[in-house]
Amino acid sequence: MEYVKTVFLFIQNQILGMKWLNELIANGLTSVGLDVNGKLGGSVNFFIYDVVKITILLCALIFMISYIQSYFPPERSKKILGRFNGIWANIVSALLGTVTPFCSCSSIPLFIGFTSAGLPLGVTFSFLISSPMVDLGSLLLLMSIFGAKVAIVYVIVGLIIAVLGGTLIQKLHMEEYVEEFIRNASSIDIDSPELTKHDRLIYARDQVESTFKKVFPYILVGVGIGAVIHNWIPEEVIQTVLGGKNLFGVILAVIVGVPMYADIFGTIPVAEALLSKGAQLGTILSFMMAVTTLSLPSMIMLKKAIKPRLLGVFVAICTIGIIIVGYLFNLAQGMLI
């Protein structure tokens, strides 16, 4: 058992967390005269380390997930979802969301396609919630920073929000609040061509290239903000605003996160820096969920597909769910970290 624990910690710290890379960069900066324990040197060290680490993990994860995703094109996903009824359809839809695009703006076109195909509205909303909030990449990235317990619980809780949110929307019977051009769209089943392994590898490579180009600017911004928080903002300030003394920290984190647009890769450096400064775990995860699920640009896109009342219900369900999750994680922080 001790051997298994040692291997697991090695994977978490040295492969996913790349602690060796941090030491290597720190030694390199020290050799050129930068004090990595000072504010400037520490910021430079944080920035280079996190950008390189996240870039490596990002490319590797996108390649693996895209290869898996090549087995689940929209047409096949529709057929899979069509085989299930009730809450099982919501569960399968949420799980399918874990192997699809990395941000809400990329998920919305698939959501529209599923809705146009006649899938139940609640089922498509389970997909829409889980797709940006929970994916295989977030599991491994969260594990590299917060540890396995936090990563696994985060993914499970995200899936629960997706399933419950979609189920509630289905129970409310809000189909009339979907725009008519989507409800009246004719569904055409097109068989996807069978891809060879070589085709799937090319597809995965292309996805790495296109996703990296879209995501990398947000990584730079996120890591830059994280470096500032980590080395320049006093710990007392973070603890006062987002620590245990502020009962409204979770709500504040959600309010701040909604207008932003990023993905899980851009928010993790900020979360890492906030945690090191004493912010509560649930407050940080609420911020991440709000940014990835309820970003203002994605809400503007979604408004083209659904009417304000349904959009309001969707936002309300996600917001309440995220806030509840934030407070639960804060209560359980001692058991998770």
Kindly report the average pLDDT of the chain as a whole number. Answer: 82
313's enclosing H/E stretch is: helix 308-336
pLDDT classification of 103: cutoffs 50, 70, 90: low
Q: Using alpha carbons, select from 77, 81, 115 the residue that is nearest to residue 306.
A: 115
> What pLDDT is recorded for position 261?
61
The parent domain of residue 13 ranges over 2-182+197-336
Share of the chain above pLDDT 70, in %: 90
Q: Is residue 187 one of the residues assigned to a domain?
A: no
Q: Is residue 229 one of the residues assigned to a domain?
A: yes
Q: Is residue 105 one of the residues assigned to a domain?
A: yes
Burial environment of residue 34 by CB neighbours within 10 A (0 to 12, 13 to 18, 19 or more): middle
Q: Give how many domains the chain has, as a whole number.
A: 1
SS3 247: coil
| Higher per-residue pLDDT: 200 or 235 | 200
Cβ neighbours of residue 180 closer than 8 Å, sequence gap 6 or more: none
pTM of the model: 0.76
Assess whether pLDDT exceeds 80 at residue 199.
Answer: yes
Q: Is residue 175 one of the residues assigned to a domain?
A: yes
| Higher per-residue pLDDT: 101 or 1 | 1
Assess whether pLDDT exceeds 60 at residue 104.
Answer: no
Q: Is residue 188 one of the residues assigned to a domain?
A: no
Q: Is residue 89 one of the residues assigned to a domain?
A: yes
Q: What is the pLDDT of residues 269-279, one digit of tens each?
A: 888 888 888 88
Please give the DSSP secondary-structure letter assigned to residue 98.
G
Q: Among 91-95, 107-111, 166-170, 329-333, which stretch is predicted with the lowest mean pLDDT?
A: 107-111
